Amino acid sequence: KIAACLFDLDGVLVDTARYHFLAWKKLADELGIDFTLEHNELLKGVSRMDSLDIILNIGNLQLSQEKKNALADQKNQVYLEYILQMNEEEILPGVKDFLTALRKLGVGVALGSASKNAPLILERLKIGNLFDAVIDGTKVSKAKPDPEVFLKGAEALAAKPAACIVFEDAIAGIEAARNAGMMAVGVGDPQTLSRANLVISGFRGLTPEHLFQQINEHTT
Ligand code: BG6
Ligand code: MG
């Protein structure tokens, strides 16, 4: 019996990767670093400061912590400009129906995201009311693949880890789910997310019943 479903935000419920990219790209350009879409793949699921470190590494730049804090803030200001222009239309197809169906079944729904902007994004998408718990980047001290974010989500819903399903688009997120002792559903490319129990391309047309049945077949 599935007690709870835990969702990553960026890349699972909404496609914010392109906004993160545009904001990082602007910063990288200013620093004279050649930052590409390919590089951007490395930043999925990675915290803001770790992302900056990866970019500085690409450019062979070493900066003081103070300077790095300022650059991370600068990037976030640009990112926020994009986020503030988002609306409900940017929720990925099928997500809202899937979350609503879970709630009808009495399955707990939580967010487990590394983003400190998660509450703002949920507000912009007008789906905050569909979550029983929101664990975001301000509530965790250890980044994925550490299981902290998902264990906190399960705890908030009083659900046992083994009865939880995590939905993730990043390799580190799938690992975090496994490290938490939860089932992992990858959202995206089966090859990249090969460590997941099951991989889906998205939520369009997907019902919880069908998903639960599929995951049962893949885990038993
Ligand atoms: C993750 C994203 O969800 O959140 C990363 O996949 C991002 O790309 C991270 O860096 C932190 O987000 P924020 O909004 O706190 O800078
Ligand atoms: Mg993600």
| Residue nearest (by alpha carbon) to ligand 1 atom 5 | 45
With 80 as the cut, is the pLDDT of residue 46 above it?
yes
Q: Determine what percent of the chain is predicted with pLDDT higher than 70.
A: 100
Is residue 141 very low, low, confident or very high in pLDDT (cuts 50, 70, 90)? very high
Report residue 214's pLDDT band, with 50, 70 and 90 as the boundaries. very high
Sheet holding 4-7, edge to edge: 133-135, 108-112, 4-7, 164-168, 183-187, 198-200
Spacing, Cα 46 to ligand 1 middle (Å): 6
Beta bridge partners of 111: 7, 134
Please state, in angstroms and as integers, the Cα–Cα distance from residue 52 to each residue in 42, 55, 67, 119, 193, following that order: 11, 5, 11, 22, 24
Annotated binding site: 8-10, 24, 43-48, 51, 75, 113-117, 144, 168-169
ipTM of the complex: 0.98
Rounded Cα distance between 51 and 5, Å, is 27
Of 23-27, 40-44, 166-170, the one with minimum mean pLDDT is: 40-44
Q: In this predicted structure, what is the pLDDT of residue 191?
A: 93
- Report the alpha-carbon distance of residue 166 to residue 138 in Å, rounded: 20
> What is the per-residue pLDDT across 59-117, written as a single tens digit (0 to 9) for each?
999 999 999 999 999 999 999 999 999 999 999 999 999 999 999 999 999 999 999 99
Q: Does residue 39's CB lie within 6 angstroms of at least one atom of ligand 1?
A: no
* 65 contact partners, CB below 8 Å, separation of at least 6: none
- pLDDT attached to residue 220: 61
Residues whose CB falls within 8 Å of the CB of residue 47, separated by 6 or more in sequence, listed in order? 114, 137, 143
Please, which pLDDT band fits residue 41 given cuts at 50, 70 and 90? confident
Q: Is the N-terminal amide bond of 145 cis, ω within 30° of 0?
A: yes
Ligand 1 pocket, 40 CB below 6 A? no
Q: Give ion ligand 2 contacts, CB < 5 A.
A: 8, 10-11, 45, 169-170
pLDDT tens across 24-36, in order? Answer: 999 999 999 999 9
Q: CA quadruple 157, 163, 169, 172: dihedral positive or negative?
A: positive
pLDDT recorded at residue 218: 82
Q: Is the pLDDT of residue 219 over 90?
A: no
